[in-house]
Amino acid sequence: MNMAQLKVYLLRTNSWQKVLFGLPILAMVVMLLMDHSGESVELGQAVYRPEMLQRLCKAGQLSGDAGETYGEETENGIKYNVRTPANYDASVAHPLLLVFSPAGSNRAKTEKTTGFTFPATQAGFIVAYADHPELSPSTTVELGTIPSLMAKKWCIDEKQVYVTGHSDGGTSAMALAFMTGTRHIPRAIAPSAAGVAYDDLRDRRCPEPLPVMVMHSSKDRLFPGYGQQAVGWWAACNKCDPIPDKIANGCSSYSGCAGGVKTLYCEGDNIHSHWPERSQDIVEFFVSATQVSPRAK
């Protein structure tokens, strides 16, 4: 029985026996439907770049499936779904795109909203969409364990971890890059509508130069002006020239950054809850970051 047939069955089922005695099964099925979101996932055919082919795994020791995997969990139960390229090669160490969910969302909704799966897998990334846990330093650390957990099952290059997310997800993505115990994890970040202002950052020690693409809306009433404040801190940490240059699509780019890392600020004009719909730009930003020399670990 496929997912569509299963939905029809649930709608037509009305016997008291199933209502009274089938609740655990029904709950499990509902969660399954939520997890899969009822829609097929389009995976890209990766073109493996020469530098990717230089980093190899022992494929026979990895159990992760190609395609779509649902309901992986961290130690404390944060669930995440995994997507590989359609032509996944278990001997090639892939960059990982880690996508964090905003409050009120989950991994399935975030996949649908952001639309990363096809362009990212086509670019050779494995993608993981994580549920939204209650926001705290400890849950950010927990989210940061996902790459190492995945590397036990899929061929992941743990020095090529790219992190994005919206609202609380953006906050976690940014925090992962500046918190003392996790700052070594991301190779680049692209936080959107993050609740991190300059006051949250000024006493933090700068991490090593890091490619950063900060996205925020001029009409964000929940975190007004936070994006501009945050990117100013990142530009200083990256030792960029202080005045950015306007480029395209509402974005500005800082020049002269240490190590040639890109530091971008992209501003939209939607309400806080609206995903900025820059997924293709984010994937291209992360692909460009794979060309920058790895950060010191």
Is 250 in the same domain as 114? yes
**DSSP-assigned letter for residue 286:** H
Is 20 in the same domain as 52? no
Model confidence, pTM? 0.86
Is 120 in the same domain as 14? no
Q: Is residue 66 part of a domain?
A: yes
Q: Is residue 3 part of a domain?
A: yes
pLDDT of residue 59: 67
Decide: 108 and 81 in contact? Cβ < 8 Å: yes
Q: Could you tell me the pLDDT band of residue 293, with boundaries at 50, 70 and 90?
A: low
Measured CA angle at 141 (ends 145, 214), to 5 deg: 100
Is 15 in the same domain as 130? no
Q: Is residue 88 part of a domain?
A: yes
- Domain encompassing residue 15: 1-36
pLDDT of residue 58: 81
Write out pLDDT tens, residues 158-174: 999 999 999 999 999 99
Domain of 274, CATH number, reads: 3.40.50.1820
Q: Is residue 294 part of a domain?
A: no
Alpha carbon distances (Å) from 187 to 10, 263, 294: 45, 13, 7
Q: Which residue matches tokens 């990142």?
A: 234
Is 228 in the same domain as 259? yes
Report the pLDDT averaged over residues 190-201. 97
Report the pLDDT averaged over residues 38-47. 83
Write out pLDDT tens, residues 57-98: 886 789 999 999 999 999 999 999 999 999 999 999 999 999
Q: Is residue 155 part of a domain?
A: yes
Q: Could you tell me the pLDDT band of residue 39, with boundaries at 50, 70 and 90?
A: low
Is 101 in the same domain as 18? no
Q: Is residue 253 part of a domain?
A: yes
Alpha carbon distances (Å) from 126 to 52, 122, 278: 13, 10, 19
pLDDT of residue 86: 97
Please spell the DSSP secondary structure of 208-274, one letter per residue.
S---EEEEEETT-SSSTTHHHHHHHHHHHHTT--SS-EE-STTEEEE-S-GGG--EEEEEE-S-TTS
User: Is the pLDDT reported for residue 30 higher than 90?
Assistant: no
Report the pLDDT averaged over residues 273-277. 94
Task: Compute the distance between CA of residue 281 and CA of residue 289 in angstroms, rounded to an integer.
Answer: 12
pLDDT of residue 294: 60
Task: Compute the distance between CA of residue 295 and CA of residue 129 in angstroms, rounded to an integer.
Answer: 24
Q: Could you tell me the pLDDT band of residue 54, with boundaries at 50, 70 and 90?
A: confident
Is 20 in the same domain as 116? no
Is 23 in the same domain as 165? no
Count: domains in the chain: 2
Is 108 in the same domain as 172? yes
Q: Is residue 296 part of a domain?
A: no
Is 88 in the same domain as 220? yes
pLDDT of residue 16: 23
Is 261 in the same domain as 195? yes
Is 20 in the same domain as 64? no
Q: Average per-residue pLDDT in the chain?
A: 87
User: What percent of the chain is modeled with pLDDT above 90?
Assistant: 77
In 3-state terms, what secondary structure has residue 51?
A: coil
Task: Compute the distance between CA of residue 155 and CA of residue 150 in angstroms, rounded to an integer.
Answer: 8
Report the pLDDT averaged over residues 96-119. 97
Q: Which residue matches tokens 């009120």?
A: 104
User: What percent of the chain is modeled with pLDDT above 70?
Assistant: 85
